[in-house]
A and B are shown apart, each in its own frame.
Chain A
Amino acid sequence: MAVAASAAHGHATHNPVRFNRLGLWLFFFSESILFGLLLTTRFFLEGIEREHVDQHLGLAITIILLLSSLTAFTAETAIEHNNQRVANWFLMATIVLGIIFAAGVGFEWKTAEFSRHEAFGSVFFTMTGIHAAHVVSGIGILFLVWIQLKRGKFNSKNHWPVSGSVMYWHFVDVVWVFFYPALYLVK
């Protein structure tokens, strides 16, 4: 939400990127509580019990998501150095990896051996679902940014939308770093 804010008013002393960055961080704090409560829910209801999940698939999508953070980081670094071509390619790679991750979650859902009508299933589908919703919204934001990047709107001086959306992408990734062990590795 804070990604596209502006403080372009008469008093020119304010630095809008500084505002946006703090706003985004605050938004992450708030979201952390959301994800933290979902984690709490998982352990409150199920303790450290776990149903059978597809370990290979879980590991694969985790690696893909971590890789996508790397490509996102590269894209941001590239635009900071005014290298639009590299930024363009790596942002697109991030989007593609994100789509693969989302598809992986979808496949996991389809092949899951447990039902959503019981506690573990509820927890699993809700946690992966809320996270996937963030991934999908991240893909959407990255896509909008990518279009403008392609049109050459960003350079080393003006690239907040790239930085902001990449920050968001990293955040979603970090959340998965907590969710993955809680859903796949516990016990």
Chain B
Amino acid sequence: MYAAKSVSGGIGLGLIGFYLGLGFIALLRWTLGYPEPWGGEINIIGGYIFGLIGWLMGVGMWGIWGREWFGQRTYPRKAPGWQRYFTFNTDHKVIGVQYTVTFIIVFLLAGALAMMMRLELANSGMQFLSHAQYNGTMSLHGTLMIAVAVAAVIGGIGNYAIPLLIGAEDMAFPRLNALTFWLVPPVAVALLSTPFLGGMETGWTAYPPLSVTTNSAQIMFDLGIITFGLTSILGGLNFLVTIMFMRAPGLSWGRLPIFVWAIFATSWIALLYTQGFAVALLLIALDRVAGMAFFNSTAGGDPLLYQHVFWFYSHPAVYIMVLPGFGMALEIIAHFSRKPLFAYRYAVGAFLGILGLSGVVWAHHMFTAGIPNYLHGPFLVATELISVPTGLVFLSALGTIWMGKLWLKTPMLFALAVIFNFGCGGVTGIFLADVPTDIHLQDTYFVVAHFHYTIVGGEIFGLFAGIYYYFPKITGRMYNETLGKLQFWWMFIAFNVTFFTMHLPGVQGMNRRIADYQSGLDTVNLIVSLSGLFLGASFILFVYNMINSWIRGPLAGDNPWQVRTLEWQVSSPPPLENFPTPPVVQGHPYDYGVPGSVHGVFPGQKLGGVPVVGGGGGQ
């Protein structure tokens, strides 16, 4: 049992490492003459780091990579069948599935926490949670969902699809790719340990000084998120090298599928800005553990420093979340409209424009934080400027469906919903970018509704679009279309009722992150809660459909969607290293209906003496 060996090795070495780390720090403290060898959180940090290394080595990184550092021969761990999903596997398709399944599980878990919150908030007064429990639930929901939003599409769908879309046999750094995935389970363990340490009470934003003075759950959050940031940076780096150097011959930048462009722009953001989160949380950890004074105003520190550094990452982070959603939606919309992607160059320009602007808008999260008056104007202008490149995404999407032949399969419905939802999320963004309205709406449920529209509406719908779209390619089997459509309409309607209604309590004076609210807001909250629970139920259908179809679904064939891009020209599921004969690209991926056009050909592959031509587009 390779899988059991891998997982038990990882857990075993991880635990050994954890206790070694605890002891190591204790020894260090004893040597340095501290009165107590047990210093609390400092020991936990040591344990976590040692445990992390132990886990990675145990799960298979040692044999496949670590030995090389010491000049020894490496040996790959070849696991058959389903077992490969539980080992340090370097195949990008395996890693893509590992990411997707892991984050769907995290998504469902965090969704269950949201259900608890909505039950608590169904009426004013406290129902069944204490204030501490509510804050912990809310913080954990936020943190886990942020993790899902940052990594699910780029890590899951991106890892699976990017090498296939560009005609490469794998990512540029396959072992690094495996490493980015296997760093994720320790993150989950760290975050899920927080309820047992008293529960986080700072939300995912972790503003000091509260995050410095609060309970030890904070340090697990810090460690988990810094690790998670590392996976984000390394993943982004890997995508960039892959996209720059591993495109098939002929696949010029102007022919790149739009989803690849989206991941390209996203990877830059992840690579550059994620360090901001790491620095912010590092400073918090230092304040906590070493008694430093970064955020201690009585000793020369400044709490606003954190907010600047934190939002310097966390605003670009929303584009890490949303750009892959846009890319997925545009990709699917073009294929299912059977039409060239409208204004392709403008869509690419939109992604690059957002990439460029993402780093200069962060202080709009701080309009009411007492920043100097001269900062408001520039950040207001920069923020509203972002609506221009975002508008180009809409141009591309709406122009593509116009006069197309829309094949309204489940992925297409989800892709269209991305555009619909983001329409609402984009418009409400204007209210928050304008300081005179933001001054009231800041930190209210209006903001909560807005970012659920953009992130869930814009990205999670894109994630589902991607999952349904690639399901036949990943599994070789077709999902149940009726159930898929039913889930779409169920989720779409419940989502819109829940979050459109949620704007109202925000305007009327309900601030966010509260366990209790004024009795005047009872009715509207009850509606939101009921609709939210309805939304939660829709995912049961999804899980059933996926599991059932993976086991019993009808065989899908190589190209069930009759799509032109490279990944659909190989078998479902694709073989190891993807393309038995390397593809050569001769045309644009979206030239549906253009006579004689081809996207990819496989020169080495012959059927009856004729080179096989990819793509079903050109009649």
Residues of A at the B interface (CB closer than 8 Å) are 1-2, 4-7, 9-11, 14, 18-19, 22-23, 26-27, 29-31, 33-34, 37-38, 40-41, 44-46, 116-123, 125-126, 130, 144, 147-148, 151, 153
Looking across the interface, which residue of chain A has its beta carbon closest to that of B168? Answer: A11
**Would you give the shortest CB distance from A114 to chain B, in whole angstroms?**
11
Contact (Cβ within 8 A) B237 A23? yes
A-B contact pairs, 12 of them (CB 8 A): A1-B179, A2-B173, A5-B173, A6-B175, A9-B170, A14-B245, A22-B240, A29-B272, A121-B293, A122-B293, A126-B286, A148-B71
Known: A22-B245, A151-B71. A33 touches B294 (CB 8 A): no
Known: A41-B283, A118-B300, A119-B301. A14 touches B69 (CB 8 A): no
Partner of B271 from the list A9, A18, A29, A123 (CB cut-off 8 Å) is: A29
**Would you give the shortest CB distance from A113 to chain B, in whole angstroms?**
16
Which residues on B sit within 8 Å (CB–CB) of A45? 294, 300-302, 305
Which residues on B sit within 8 Å (CB–CB) of A117? 291-293, 299
**Would you give the shortest CB distance from A70 to chain B, in whole angstroms?**
26
Decide if B469 is an interface residue (CB 8 Å cutoff).
no
Question: How many angstroms between the C-alpha atoms of A85 and B240 in the bound complex?
Answer: 37
Decide if B591 is an interface residue (CB 8 Å cutoff).
no
Question: How many angstroms between the C-alpha atoms of A175 and B301 in the bound complex?
Answer: 24
Decide if B551 is an interface residue (CB 8 Å cutoff).
no
**Would you give the shortest CB distance from B169 to chain A, in whole angstroms?**
5
Which residues on A sit within 8 Å (CB–CB) of B286? 122, 126
Known: A5-B176, A34-B278. A11 touches B577 (CB 8 A): yes
Decide if B172 is an interface residue (CB 8 Å cutoff).
yes
Known: A37-B309, A117-B293. A23 touches B71 (CB 8 A): no
Known: A4-B65, A5-B175. A33 touches B293 (CB 8 A): no
Contact (Cβ within 8 A) A119 B299? yes
**Would you give the shortest CB distance from A60 to chain B, in whole angstroms?**
25
Contact (Cβ within 8 A) B237 A26? yes
Which residues on A sit within 8 Å (CB–CB) of B70? 144, 147
**Would you give the shortest CB distance from B584 to chain A, in whole angstroms?**
12
Hey, what's the 0/1 contact readout for B238-270 against A, CB within 8 Å counting as 1?
Answer: 101100111000000000000000000000000
Contact (Cβ within 8 A) B291 A116? yes
Question: How many angstroms between the C-alpha atoms of A6 and B179 in the bound complex?
Answer: 13
Question: How many angstroms between the C-alpha atoms of A30 and B240 in the bound complex?
Answer: 13
Which residues on B sit within 8 Å (CB–CB) of A31? 275
Question: How many angstroms between the C-alpha atoms of A45 and B173 in the bound complex?
Answer: 40
Contact (Cβ within 8 A) B305 A41? yes
Contact (Cβ within 8 A) A37 B276? yes
Hey, what's the 0/1 contact readout for B489-532 against A, CB within 8 Å counting as 1?
Answer: 00000000000000000000000000000000000000000000
Decide if B86 is an interface residue (CB 8 Å cutoff).
no
**Would you give the shortest CB distance from A147 to chain B, in whole angstroms?**
7
Contact (Cβ within 8 A) B169 A10? yes
Decide if B399 is an interface residue (CB 8 Å cutoff).
no
**Would you give the shortest CB distance from A82 to chain B, in whole angstroms?**
19
Contact (Cβ within 8 A) B276 A19? no
Known: A44-B305, A122-B293. A30 touches B299 (CB 8 A): no
Interface residues of B in 283-312 (CB under 8 A from A): 283, 286-287, 290-294, 299-302, 305, 308-309, 312
Beyond the given pairs A44-B305, A120-B300, 7 more chain A to chain B contacts, judged by CB atoms under 8 angstroms and listed by A's residue number, are A6-B174, A11-B169, A19-B173, A23-B176, A116-B292, A116-B293, A125-B292
Contact (Cβ within 8 A) A118 B299? yes
Question: How many angstroms between the C-alpha atoms of A5 and B241 in the bound complex?
Answer: 12
**Would you give the shortest CB distance from B293 to chain A, in whole angstroms?**
5
Partner of A119 from the list B293, B308, B309 (CB cut-off 8 Å) is: B293
Contact (Cβ within 8 A) B174 A122? no
Question: How many angstroms between the C-alpha atoms of A117 and B299 in the bound complex?
Answer: 7
Question: How many angstroms between the C-alpha atoms of A5 and B300 in the bound complex?
Answer: 44
**Would you give the shortest CB distance from B218 to chain A, in whole angstroms?**
18
Contact (Cβ within 8 A) B577 A2? no
Question: How many angstroms between the C-alpha atoms of A5 and B278 in the bound complex?
Answer: 24
Contact (Cβ within 8 A) B305 A22? no
Hey, what's the 0/1 contact readout for B197-209 against A, CB within 8 Å counting as 1?
Answer: 0000000000000
Which residues on A sit within 8 Å (CB–CB) of B276? 33, 37
Contact (Cβ within 8 A) B301 A4? no
Question: How many angstroms between the C-alpha atoms of A9 and B246 in the bound complex?
Answer: 12
**Would you give the shortest CB distance from A119 to chain B, in whole angstroms?**
3
Contact (Cβ within 8 A) A30 B245? no
Which residues on A sit within 8 Å (CB–CB) of B71? 147-148, 151, 153
Decide if B234 is an interface residue (CB 8 Å cutoff).
yes
Looking across the interface, which residue of chain A has its beta carbon closest to that of B66? Answer: A4
Contact (Cβ within 8 A) A41 B234? no
Contact (Cβ within 8 A) A26 B271? yes
Which residues on A sit within 8 Å (CB–CB) of B384? none
Contact (Cβ within 8 A) A116 B290? yes
Contact (Cβ within 8 A) A122 B292? yes
Hey, what's the 0/1 contact readout for B153-182 against A, CB within 8 Å counting as 1?
Answer: 000000000000000011011111001000
Which residues on A sit within 8 Å (CB–CB) of B237? 2, 23, 26-27, 30
Partner of A1 from the list B169, B176, B244, B308 (CB cut-off 8 Å) is: B176
Question: How many angstroms between the C-alpha atoms of A153 and B279 in the bound complex?
Answer: 38
**Would you give the shortest CB distance from B267 to chain A, in whole angstroms?**
9
Contact (Cβ within 8 A) B233 A30? yes
Which residues on B sit within 8 Å (CB–CB) of A144? 69-70
Contact (Cβ within 8 A) A44 B300? no
Decide if B488 is an interface residue (CB 8 Å cutoff).
no
Contact (Cβ within 8 A) A41 B172? no
Decide if B274 is an interface residue (CB 8 Å cutoff).
yes
Decide if B481 is an interface residue (CB 8 Å cutoff).
no
Looking across the interface, which residue of chain A has its beta carbon closest to that of B177? Answer: A5
Contact (Cβ within 8 A) B308 A44? yes
Which residues on B sit within 8 Å (CB–CB) of A151? 71
Question: How many angstroms between the C-alpha atoms of A44 and B301 in the bound complex?
Answer: 9
Contact (Cβ within 8 A) A34 B292? no
